Structure 1
Amino acid sequence: MPSNDRPVNGQDNPTFLDLLNQTPPLPPTPELDGKHGNGRPGRLRAAWKASWEEGGFLYQRWEEVFRARHASWHEVANWIKAAALFGGLSLIVLMLDAAGDIASAALKGLSAVPATSGGDGSGLWGTVDHPVRLFLADQAAHLAVAPAALYAFWQLTGLLALVGGFFGNAGARIAWVLFGIGSLSMIWSAAPAGGRAAATGLAALMWALASMFALRGLTLRPVVHNHPPQYQFNPALHLHATIPAPTPAGDDLGPDDVHPLQR
């Protein structure tokens, strides 16, 4: 009998198609409305029933699913691993697609705001925001991009850097530092000459206060790791003494009056 699965208890584990092809015809039953079980419905019913018996194809698959709850990843059947990986990849693709749609909608909403709608720059936030709008609008005149798109990208960069830095992402914290430096440069360049220093200083204070959240947990203290030495030297003194062999009796030195040294 052909088989494409692992042996079970030293015997081949038939597949559902093998059982379908080799299932004998069923006798006439009342459930079949007087018809013989030689047709395809009867063979399907017999194959389905045989596959759920002990050692059958569907029986073994159900046992593998039941054992997978308490087994490690390496002990799980390959078809379960493939199904889990396919489902996980499908979920990731759906999440990325949804995130792309949300980011696109947010960017379009921010782009719809006019870049010069900051009024005359009154108020604390207007003192910081209005020079940025003017600087971006002036630079966009020399670029193939709308001023609103530049301003929306500047806002989105600051928001993502602030949120990512709050959760400890290193790249987001680097982006937050660059965002602050770029914002201060734009404010210094576009602010009125009489209040340039005050506007830049106020923006620096706001950026520093926001950095308490974006750079939380960041320390400039050096981290010292004390590791025990890998090799230890234990001095030891070894003395080797040589004991002379005893003199045999009856030699020229006379009687053996000195007993040999016993070890």
Structure 2
Amino acid sequence: MEPQFDAGIDSPADASTAPNVPAARRVPAWVTRADTWVVAGVLTVLSALAGGALWLLWKLITGLIAVLDAGGEIAGDAGRAAAGWLATGPITRTITTPVHAYIDTHAAGLPATAEQLRWGWLLTGVVLLVAASVGARGARIGWCLHGVSTAAMAWAASPPDNRELAVAVTAAVWSLLAVPAFARATAPRHTTIVITRPAGADSAESQVTR
């Protein structure tokens, strides 16, 4: 018979099983600090303000682009209308119609056709005007002669009752176009004259005085 022993406190029967509870996680100290939440709030407000400012700026830019686009279309339409009026308007046709009629009537028997002469008359005027505007003196004389010949053709090919008016319109248009052609001719020129005394003139003058 085996001896019986008193288990006491070391007896497995008396050992209590502790529950398997995980240890509580420690919260970082910076999370519980008041200044951390203040900084977070300030950053949140600043981010919201920055987002609103960017959205407003984007709206302003897109609106400005739309306005400029619409204005460009309006300006383009106005420019095309003005260019068409200048090219084929009544003032221009008052000059070009009799000039073309004169050229068409008197071009028979010439090597150049009437259309070639019309283009030559137009291109000659453009070249003379551009050259006169940059200061070519010969081009200024040629521009005046071109205007006189144009007025003469307008006089000859216009109806008898409207010849004076056609020549007056031609002279007015040529005078307006001559403003840039003769702009530099009227610009004043300044000449600076520097007079220097020869070396030793003061000493010679002092000796004569003595």
Which TM-score bucket, shorter chain as reference?
A: 0.3 to 0.5
Please state which structure has a larger fraction of its residues in helix.
2
Q: Calculate the TM-score normalised by the size of structure 2.
A: 0.47
Q: Calculate the TM-score normalised by the size of structure 1.
A: 0.38
